[in-house]
Amino acid sequence: MLRAVFRRHAAGVAVITAAGERPTGFTATSLTSVSMDPPLLSFGVGTGSSSWPVFATAGYVGVHVLGEHQRELAATFARSGADRFAPPTRWRTGPHGVPLLAGVPAWLVCEVTARIPAGDHRLLIASPVAGDASGAGRPLLYHQGCFNALRD
């Protein structure tokens, strides 16, 4: 029932990245603003995911808000077994060694402050230390199992 209800809940789409032996990342719809004072955000990571071993110990993460023009990028980072950082993905190394994706409307580099067990996931709490919200594009949304754009 929970899955059916949340299929009807539109959510923003983000890609979360971290530096490990190789850069890693995944598509997330669980990104949430937690607090403004101090500034904190959260997102969930599945402990069975291929990304979890890096996120289990990463001190810093990249949070990328995707635009409606980035459906394929969202799909790449959601696809199991994909080489997510291979071309055509464009990225660079940012503050604290965090992989930063190019062309996103907004990004943050955050310090991980907590990892809270939550069923088959961990809820990561993180504090922004750098960022940029000057990119172009309207937000990408996830609804009914598909990536969507806002309608006017």
- Write out pLDDT tens, residues 108-147: 999 999 999 999 999 999 999 999 999 988 999 998 888 9
pTM over 0.75: yes
- Report residue 4's pLDDT band, with 50, 70 and 90 as the boundaries: confident
Please tell me the predicted confidence (pLDDT) of residue 21: 92
Q: Where are the beta strands (DSSP E) in the chain?
A: 11-12, 14-18, 24-28, 32-36, 39-46, 60-65, 91-93, 99-101, 106-118, 121-132, 140-143, 146-149
Please tell me the predicted confidence (pLDDT) of residue 109: 98
**15 is written with which tokens?**
């890609």
* pLDDT for 33 beyond 90: yes
- Write out pLDDT tens, residues 39-93: 999 999 999 999 999 999 999 999 999 999 999 999 999 998 889 999 999 999 9
Q: Where are the domains of the chain?
A: 2-133
Q: What is 119-136 written as a DSSP string?
A: TTEEEEEEEEEEEE----
Rounded distance between C-alpha atoms, residue 95 and residue 77, angstroms = 21
Average pLDDT of the chain, as a whole number: 94
Single-letter code of the amino acid located at 91: W
The CATH code belonging to domain 2-133 is 2.30.110.10
Q: In DSSP terms, which residues pair with 115 in a beta bridge?
A: 124
